[in-house]
A and B are shown apart, each in its own frame.
Chain A
Amino acid sequence: DGGITQSPKYLFRKEGQNVTLSCEQNLNHDAMYWYRQDPGQGLRLIYYSQIVNDFQKGDIAEGYSVSREKKESFPLTVTSAQKNPTAFYLCASSIMDRRSSYNSPLHFGNGTRLTVT
């Protein structure tokens, strides 16, 4: 079945360490996104990518980095510069056909809960 796989489900790191969250999709979607979710808040966009080897900052990109070397993969690195990294991270994808992208829902992975102590 097609879908988005995020791993691991839970991740624990010490403060000051970089950590990379994995996101893989087999939906053949061009666009991929990373969101952060904190308690009592909606989802906030970190980074997004419309095509391979290209990505753009979202609303809260500081302290994060991404790469898009393959269409199906969009890993997110939480760097030591991110001041409050503990959160629930969600990866999503969507089609990018300009005729229908406006009407296309986001497909989400199960998320990674990151705890930094």
Chain B
Amino acid sequence: AQKVTQAQTEISVVEKEDVTLDCVYETRDTTYYLFWYKQPPSGELVFLIRRNSFDEQNEISGRYSWNFQKSTSSFNFTITASQVVDSAVYFCAPYSLHSGGYQKVTFGIGTKLQVIP
């Protein structure tokens, strides 16, 4: 069975602070793919980043950075110098290949981030 855990249900930070969103993915699959989506108040989910299970190299893109550690099944997402526009719900969404090529997506419950001006 697969299990994705986003332990932080809500986080509030003051603008310009850094914030890290946690995600733990437990699976027996050896190959899987990890995605983060952002859901602003408008409702539409927007794809942010993706990583695969065999690449633990961390990345930085602008104000976003990702820390993936396969040994602990954690895939954390950090926003540096947060802005009010970052206020949204963030979903961790691991993928593993299901039979027939269908992407078996397991969404976490989401972390609501509020950036206070």
B72 interface residue (CB < 8 Å to A)? no
Task: Report the contact-size class of chain A (Cβ under 8 Å from the partner).
Answer: 20 to 34
**Residue in contact with B108 in the complex, picked from A42, A45, A109, A110, CB distance below 8 Å:** A42
Most A CB atoms within 10 A — which of B44, B50, B95, B103? Answer: B103
Task: Report the contact-size class of chain B (Cβ under 8 Å from the partner).
Answer: 20 to 34
Residue of B nearest to A99 (CB): B101
Residue of B nearest to A4 (CB): B44
- Evaluate whether A42 and B50 lie within 8 angstroms (CB atoms) in the complex, with A48-B102, A88-B43, A108-B45 already known: no
A96 interface residue (CB < 8 Å to B)? yes
**Cβ contact within 8 Å between B42 and A110:** yes
- CB neighbours of A94 from chain B (8 A): 103
- CB neighbours of A103 from chain B (8 A): 33, 50, 52
**Cβ contact within 8 Å between A43 and B91:** yes
Interface, chain B (partner A; CB < 8 A):
4, 9, 33, 35, 37, 42-47, 50, 52, 91, 93, 95, 97, 100-103, 105-110
Interface, chain A (partner B; CB < 8 A):
31, 35, 40-45, 48, 50, 56, 88, 90, 92, 94, 96, 98, 101-111, 113
